[in-house]
Structure 1
Amino acid sequence: MAFIKIYIHLVFSTKNRDSFLNTFDIPLKVRKHIKEYAIEKGIFLDMINGYSDHCHCLISLGSDQNIEKIVQLLKGESSHWINKNKLTLGKFSWQDEYFAVSVSESMVESVRNYIKNQEKHHQKKALERNIRNLLKDIILNTK
């Protein structure tokens, strides 16, 4: 039996980066469903989290799996499930594109922490963006 340990950090976004996952309960339901579906399909989903318009996953590929098929399964089934259960206003879909990068075993814990702390990460980014915009306004109005 082959021993394979290939970690992939996978990120996919909502169509047009719309903030469909911006309530407390919808993202939790979606992530729980994706976890359950991954187990059903034999996909090793180590970690999942995200923000209002995207989802981060840390997966490990099996010997008969490839990234394209896993992404197709997770995104396709979850968008179908979201629409079937009317979790969002309007039709939900993920963007066609996705980001996938291999993760060395020495970096797995760092990637887990990054995925786990998405809320904090994006709050910090929003604060930095707001401060930048405020400073830009101050500079422009003092000229």
Structure 2
Amino acid sequence: MANTYTQMYVHLVFSPKNRQALIRNEWKNELERYITGIVQNNGHKLLSINAVTDHIHIFIGYNVNQMIPKLVEEIKTSTNAWINENRFSEFHFEWQKGYGAFSHSRSQIDFVINYILTQEEHHKKKSFREEYLEILRKNDIKFNADYVFEFFD
């Protein structure tokens, strides 16, 4: 459509099924590159990505021509198959149902990128569960604990 301009930034967060620590350092960079390709092939701009053992953060300049659920579905479906076909995990790999998608303003880009890139350091002080629930609260998202990611502590 002529004279239509958009600028949206979206932070995605999701976890392997049962929040299992299945993402290994030996192949996490390949996973991040694979997801980068999916994001870019769908017309989004990858700003930051970081997979840690039990979850992943993806920050994108969002292309409004694709619905977020479709993008997340494509990332999860494609990477499930790719991880299992390449036998990166000794266990069957599957992403947990659900995800978090949080919008950010342009002025927050550097903060979010740094936050994502320093996940390993961040999780020395705070668990993924604590982090995720804090993100929900900071964004004033009403949630039912029964439907938040399955956390097994």
Q: How far apart are 1:124 and its partner, in Å?
A: 2.9
Q: List runs of 5+ in structure 1 lacking aligned partners.
A: 127-143
In structure 2, the residue matched to 1:20 is: 22
In structure 2, the residue matched to 1:3 is: 5
TM value normalised by structure 2: 0.76
Within 5 Å, give how 1:44-63 maps onto structure 2: 44-63=45-64
Q: Deviations over 1:32-88 (max 9, x none)?
A: 111122222323221100310100010122131121111111111111110111110
Indicate whether 1:116 and 2:123 are aligned.
Answer: no
Q: How far apart are 1:105 and its partner, in Å?
A: 1.2
Counterpart residue type for residue 7 of structure 2? K
- More helix per residue: 1
TM value normalised by structure 1: 0.81
Q: List runs of 5+ in structure 2 lacking aligned partners.
A: 128-153
Within 5 Å, give how 1:1-143 maps onto structure 2: 1=2, 2-21=4-23, 23-125=24-126
In structure 2, distance between residues paired with 1:39 and 1:63: 13
Runs of 4+ in 1 over 6 A off after TM superposition: none
In structure 2, distance between residues paired with 1:13 and 1:25: 18
Report sequence identity in percent.
36
In structure 2, distance between residues paired with 1:31 and 1:12: 13
- C-alpha RMSD of matched pairs (Å): 1.7
Q: How far apart are 1:3 and its partner, in Å?
A: 2.0
SS of the residue aligned with 2:111?
helix
Is the CA contact (8 Å cut-off) linking 1:51 and 1:122 kept in structure 2? no
Q: How far apart are 1:19 and its partner, in Å?
A: 0.4
Is the CA contact (8 Å cut-off) linking 2:49 and 2:57 kept in structure 1? yes
SS of the residue aligned with 2:125?
helix
